[in-house]
Amino acid sequence: MTRFTLEDLAELAMPYLPVRFREGRLPYLFFVVWLLIGVMVVLAIITPYPNGVPVPLAFAFVLLVLQLLFIWGMPFSVAVHLGLLAGLLQVSYAAWMSGGIFSPRMAWMTVIPLVPFYAVSRRAGFGWLVMVLTVEVLMSYVTWQGWLPENPTLGAAQIMSSFASYSVVTLILITVPFLYDNSFREAYNASLQRNLELEEKRKELLRTSALREQFIATVACAAEDVIIEAIETRGVAHVVLTGGTMGIAVLTGFGVGEQTRVDWSLVHFWWGDERFVTQRSSDRNAQQARDAFLARANVPEKNIHEMPSTDSGLSLDAAASFYENELAVYGNPSSLPRFDLTFLGIGPDSHVASLFPDHIDARRPGFCVPVRNSPKPPAERVSLTFEALNTSDRIWVVACGPDKAEAVSAMFSHRGNFNVPSSCVSGTIQTKVWADSPASALVAEGTHR
């Protein structure tokens, strides 16, 4: 019987099996039990030994009852162990009646441990193996002592009975490798498929990582060009930074030391928004920027214009006022520095800085505002306003990943919609969206902002 035939038989019979026999290995076990019941009936018919009729029929009846009890809710392991105990007693008695250790009935002992190994667990199978070996040792001793009933003369009936025992045991034993071969092949194929999927994911991650690094390097290089142009024109540059994964990633792309084209001591760094938390909190955009770039580039502390933290002793409103005054110190007649380049991230809800869709604080006048009840934690923040951001020469929105696709698309399809905050920002010279392929997937080719 081939593996295909076993699978095909199980598949054809599955709809007709009791519900509890339709899972995992149970369909095969269902067939084995009914095979045993049939064999017991046949042995009862052809047996030449005394008490040969009631014993196999009793075992068949026990198997039938246990099968019904399992269908009605008996725990599977309990049904298996009771069936094995009944089988061990039946085989032991039949062997004792027909020659002891020399009886063909002893061949059935090889089947008993296989059932729990296959159906329950290795530990259960090992336990039954020990029991079977113990019974075989006892049967050998009983046979050696001659404590056996008198057997009838050897004849055709005994030969037929022995042939039936050996044949059925052989069929059952040969089924086991097919069943385990089937299980092994299924497990092997599943493992192979899983490995192929993992390899594809690994390659995809490598491709994505390479593209991401190239994307970051491209944005960083273009930003350096803008900063260099500002320094060459005015001797100083003002850059507004953003937080988030991509905002910080772009900073890591800036060259420092001998690898830089920029004199970072001539660049002032500001922030479009900040979380109102402690000074050294890893949630602060400024702290992330320091760790990623500012410390490595040895940017003078006077050029790093952080928004106040909760450690400053200022309230949220006072923190916003403080930063607005800081802007005025370096400002032009409009009370703001000339922002040469402003980086903005974009949230899945299209928010930029800490200006959230249809949020009351996003529409407040001024250049720097306190933000309360932010839909994204922490609840309290400080943010530049649309009015302040839109004085920038260049506003670059940086987006990466498929979760930003709808937000990027909405930015291109709206103008000045407070429900789509990203549509409300516009640089005086340039407004540019830097988006990788997944983030720009929903934007029609040739669309401009």
pLDDT tens digit at each of 449 positions of the chain: 444 455 566 677 778 788 888 777 777 778 878 888 888 888 778 777 666 678 788 888 998 999 899 889 899 899 999 999 998 998 898 888 888 888 888 888 888 888 888 788 889 989 999 999 999 999 899 989 989 887 655 556 666 666 666 676 776 666 666 666 666 677 778 888 888 888 888 888 778 778 888 999 999 999 999 999 999 999 999 999 999 989 999 999 998 777 789 999 999 999 999 999 999 999 999 999 999 999 999 999 999 999 999 999 999 999 999 999 999 999 876 679 999 999 999 999 999 999 999 999 999 999 999 999 999 999 999 999 999 999 999 999 999 989 999 999 999 999 999 999 999 999 999 999 999 888 998 886 655 55
Same domain, 105 and 235: no
Taking a C-beta distance cutoff of 8 angstroms, is the pair 283, 307 a contact? no
Same domain, 122 and 219: no
In-domain check, residue 215: yes
In-domain check, residue 445: no
Taking a C-beta distance cutoff of 8 angstroms, is the pair 323, 382 a contact? yes
Q: Which of 148, 178, 212 is the last residue of a domain?
A: 148
Q: Are strands 381-384 and 273-275 parallel, antiparallel or unpaired?
A: antiparallel
With residue 268 as reference, give the H or E element that holds it.
strand 267-271
Same domain, 123 and 206: no
Same domain, 229 and 137: no
Same domain, 143 and 226: no
Same domain, 295 and 234: yes
The rounded distance, in Å, linking the Cα atoms of 11 and 15 is 8
Q: Which of 148, 181, 216 is the last residue of a domain?
A: 148
In-domain check, residue 80: yes
Q: How many Cβ atoms are within 10 Å of 307's Cβ, its own excluded?
A: 25
Could you tell me the pTM of the whole model? 0.61
**Any bridge partners for residue 343, and if so which?**
396
Taking a C-beta distance cutoff of 8 angstroms, is the pair 346, 407 a contact? yes
CATH of residue 304's domain is 3.40.50.1360
Same domain, 313 and 427: yes
Same domain, 242 and 365: yes
Give the count of alpha carbons within 13 A of 157, CB side only. 13
The rounded distance, in Å, linking the Cα atoms of 172 and 217 is 67
Cα pseudo-dihedral 186, 190, 196, 200, rounded to 10: 150
CA distances from 447 to 286, 344, 431, 443 (A): 34, 20, 13, 7
Same domain, 232 and 137: no
Q: How many domains in the chain? A: 2
Q: Domain limits at 77?
A: 3-148
For residue 69, give the amino acid letter. Answer: L
Which tokens is 36 given? 């045993």
In-domain check, residue 173: no
In-domain check, residue 185: no
